Each structure stands twice: as structure tokens, then as C-alpha cells.
Chains A and B, each alone.
Chain A
């Protein structure tokens, strides 16, 4: 069965800390991995990682795909209270005809 597992489920840090969120997957035919940030309602797109693009960076956020370990990490440096959100990982690679399989998410809370 295709699945995506995120860890930790929740995390509380203080402003300025660096955090690493994990996403591991078992899918039939990996095509891409996506990271989303969900603050209140709609998840917003952060990164897409593929076999041809295994590392992405945007400001304080960066992500790496490890195809050997079937996993990805999302790093956030110098965290701010505005980083508090649920971070979702989704993988395109299931055996079915539809697309992304989502993990349960990591809830990050950044304290001032």
C-alpha cells in the first residue's frame, strides 16, 4: 500500500531555532514530492522535488530529496512566529491513476 509518513507529528520551538521536518514515502512509481504550508485554511505551495531537482531553497526554507532513503526533509532556519503552521508532504507516485498521497502533516508552533 502506498503511504507517506511525516515526523514529528508536532513540534514546539522558540523564535530563532532551526527545525527539520521529515517525510518518508513508500510508493509504486515515484514522480515528485511536494511540501505545503497550511496556516489556517488553504495549503500554500512551498516546494516540488523530483529526480531532476532534489534540492530547493527559498529564503529561510530549504528542502532536500533523498531518493535512496525514500525521504525528504524540510529545514527552516531562524524560525519566526509566522512559521507556525501545519506542514504537509505529498507524493505523486501511487499505483492508482490519481496523483498525490498526503502525509498526516507536522504541526509546528514557534513561540516568541
Chain B
């Protein structure tokens, strides 16, 4: 079955550590997105990529980095510069205009 796989489901980060969240898709979609979800704030866009080897910052990119070396993969690194990283992170893909997003099952990141 085609879909989006996010891993791990739960991640704990110590202060000062960088961590990487994985997002893999076999839907053959060009566009991929990373969102952060906090209670009461809805989904906020971190980074997005519409083609391989190209990506753009979203609204809250500070403290995050991404790469898009393969069409199937769009990993997100949460760096130590992100001061409040505890949140639920969702990866999404889009088949094209007017198709809407398909979401992964998310990664819950907690700073300990």
C-alpha cells in the first residue's frame, strides 16, 4: 500500500542535542511538507519541498533544517537552536494542485 511513514513515533531529546525525524513516502508525490502541531495553535509550516534538491522555509523554520536528496525522503532535523521543540510533528505530501495533503502518522518530540 502506498503511504507516508514517519519515524520514530516518539522521540526524546536532551537539551543541546540535534535530532532527526524521518519521513518516507512511496506515493510518488513531488511535494512534501513538515508541520508542527501545538495545542491551541493548529498546524504551522516549518519547511516544504516541491522538487528534489530544492526546499523553502515556511513560517517557523528557525532552529530546523531539512534535505531533499531523494523524491521519497524529506528528513527534518531539529537543532539545538530550536528553543521549544516539544511538539507533534507531521509530514505531508501532495499529489498536485487541488488534491489536498496526505499526512503521515506523526512524531511526538519531547525535550527532557
Q: How far is the CB of A34 from chain B (nearest CB, A)?
A: 5
* SS of A interface (majority): strand
A41 touches B106 (CB 8 A): yes
- B17-43 contacts to A (CB < 8 Å): 31, 33, 35, 40-43
- Taking the complex as formed, is B90 at the interface, i.e. its CB lies under 8 A from any CB of chain A? yes
Residues of A within 8 A of B (CB-CB), count: 24
Q: How long is the Cα–Cα vector from A34 to B43 in the complex, in angstroms?
A: 13
- B56-112 contacts to A (CB < 8 Å): 56, 58, 90, 94, 97-98, 100-106
Chain A 20-36, CB-CB to B under 8 Å as 1, else 0, gives 00000000000110101
List residues of chain B with CB within 8 A of the CB of A48.
Answer: 98, 100
* SS of B interface (majority): strand
Q: How long is the Cα–Cα vector from A76 to B55 in the complex, in angstroms?
A: 38
A45 touches B100 (CB 8 A): yes
Of A61-69, A77-85, A92-100, the segment with at least 4 beta carbons within 8 Å of chain B is A92-100
Q: How long is the Cα–Cα vector from A41 to B33 in the complex, in angstroms?
A: 16
B43 touches A88 (CB 8 A): yes
Neighbour of A9 across the interface among B40, B90, B105, B106, CB < 8 A:
B40
Known contacts A9-B40, A98-B56, A104-B42: A42-B94 contact under CB 8 Å:
no
B42 touches A43 (CB 8 A): no
Neighbour of B43 across the interface among A41, A45, A97, A102, CB < 8 A:
A102
A97 touches B41 (CB 8 A): no
A50 touches B101 (CB 8 A): no
Neighbour of B58 across the interface among A9, A43, A50, A98, CB < 8 A:
A98
Known contacts A43-B90, A45-B100: A97-B42 contact under CB 8 Å:
no
7 of the cross-chain contacts (CB-CB < 8 Å) are A32-B98, A34-B100, A36-B101, A45-B100, A48-B98, A88-B42, A102-B44
